[in-house]
Amino acid sequence: MKIAFIGIGNMGAPMARNLLRRGHSITAFDVSTSARSSLEPDGAKTASTVREAAIDAEMVFTMLPNGACVEQTYLGEGGLLDGLVQRPVLVDCSTVSPQTAALVSTEGKRRGFSVADAPVSGGVMGAHAGTLTFMVGSDSSVFNEIRNVLLDMGKTAFHAGGNGAGQMAKICNNMLAAILMAGTAEVLALAERNGVSAAAITEIINASTGGNFMSQRWNPWPGVQADSPASNEFKGGFQVGLMIKDLGLAMNCAHSVSASVPLGSLAKNLMVMHAQTDANNLTKDISSIQTLYVPKSPREIPA
Ligand code: NAD
């Protein structure tokens, strides 16, 4: 299939490479010339504008940093909805607000495009391995049309509901992931400071009711799990800065329907506090929240 891929960053580049490996033809666009030409050795063509990339595409994927970039790429002058004669299926895989997804889909449908939001879980590692999970918000017919192409980049694709529902699912998943990570880090530090090693408590909770994805597969204590970001100086994985963005989206969604999200709000505050203790933390994996619970010089504080 002829595919335009817009946003050739940490996620977009490996996703586009997997599409090339599956035999699709890719035309890449990124505002960064070095990013878009990085796919040339893999066989991609490059374009110097969004419109040029999408002009004869059957499907367009966008993988952009935030809602402002998505709105500019779809709704801005020279953007995807502006002046494409053909009507490629438009699939936004970026994590943005359900409101942005709804705006793009409303405007897109009004102009005769099929539109889907299809944010992903699985991170950079999953993007390279082709094991992403897609959460899709679209009409059912559009989901059926894009499903197989999504599975060329991932292992699972869920139809969450109509336009915007994919973003809502992604935001809920990430809020829970942040809560679980902070809770797991808290428990490991508590156990260590009371004489039970992080490795020992991990083994015990993983066989008990407290076991969870973070304790089992993304363990925040360095050395407990050999291949975790925590055991690699918190490199790789999912960056604190991106999680803060997603938690901000969750807070906005909660506010819009007056929902109480005390744990999500606390998790966001913890991530922000962590980022503010050291600017380098913004680009570390979210498991680095562990360091917030391990003071450099622990002091007795009267009970
Ligand atoms: P990134 O910053 O590495 O890549 C984004 C790319 O978009 C960059 O190459 C940038 O130059 C390009 N870009 C910015 N504005 C543009 C525009 N107007 N037109 C064309 N290109 C533009 O970010 P990433 O880590 O690849 O994340 C992309 C999206 O995926 C984000 O919405 C993020 O929240 C989401 N996401 C990231 C991860 C992760 O682990 N990195 C996991 C899940 C979801």
Burial of 209 (C-beta count, 10 Å sphere; 0-12/13-18/19+): exposed
Q: Rg of the chain over CA atoms, in angstroms?
A: 21
Beta carbon of 9 within 6 Å of any ligand 1 atom: yes
Contact 64, 73 (CB under 8 A): yes
Residue 6, ligand 1, Cβ within 6 A: yes
46 lines ligand 1 (CB under 6 A): no
Fold topology of 168-300 = N-(1-d-carboxylethyl)-l-norvaline Dehydrogenase; domain 2 (1.10.1040)
pLDDT in tens, the chain (303 residues): 999 999 999 999 999 999 999 999 999 999 999 999 999 999 999 999 999 999 999 999 999 999 999 999 999 999 999 978 899 999 999 999 999 999 999 999 999 999 999 999 998 889 999 999 999 999 999 999 999 999 999 999 999 999 999 999 999 999 999 999 999 999 999 999 999 999 999 999 999 999 999 999 999 999 999 999 999 999 988 999 999 999 999 999 999 999 999 999 999 999 999 999 999 999 999 999 999 998 777 677 777
Shared fold status for 2-163 and 168-300: no
Is 220 touching ligand 1 by the criterion CB < 6 Å?
A: no
Ligand 1 center from residue 51 Cα (angstroms):
19
User: What's the CA-to-centroid distance between 32 and ligand 1, angstroms?
Assistant: 12
> How far is the centre of ligand 1, averaged over its atoms, from the C-alpha of 208 (Å)?
38
In terms of CATH architecture, what is 2-163?
3-Layer(aba) Sandwich (3.40)
Ligand 1 centroid distance, CA of 33 (Å): 15
pTM beyond 0.75, yes or no: yes
**Which of 2, 45, 155, 170 is an active site residue?**
170
The one-letter code for the residue type at 199 is A
Which of 64, 91, 170 should be mutated for ligand 1, with most atoms under 8 A from CB? Answer: 64
What residues does each domain of the chain span? 2-163, 168-300
Whether ligand 1 lies within 6 angstroms of the CB of 7 is answered as yes
Q: Is the CB of 171 under 6 A from ligand 1?
A: no
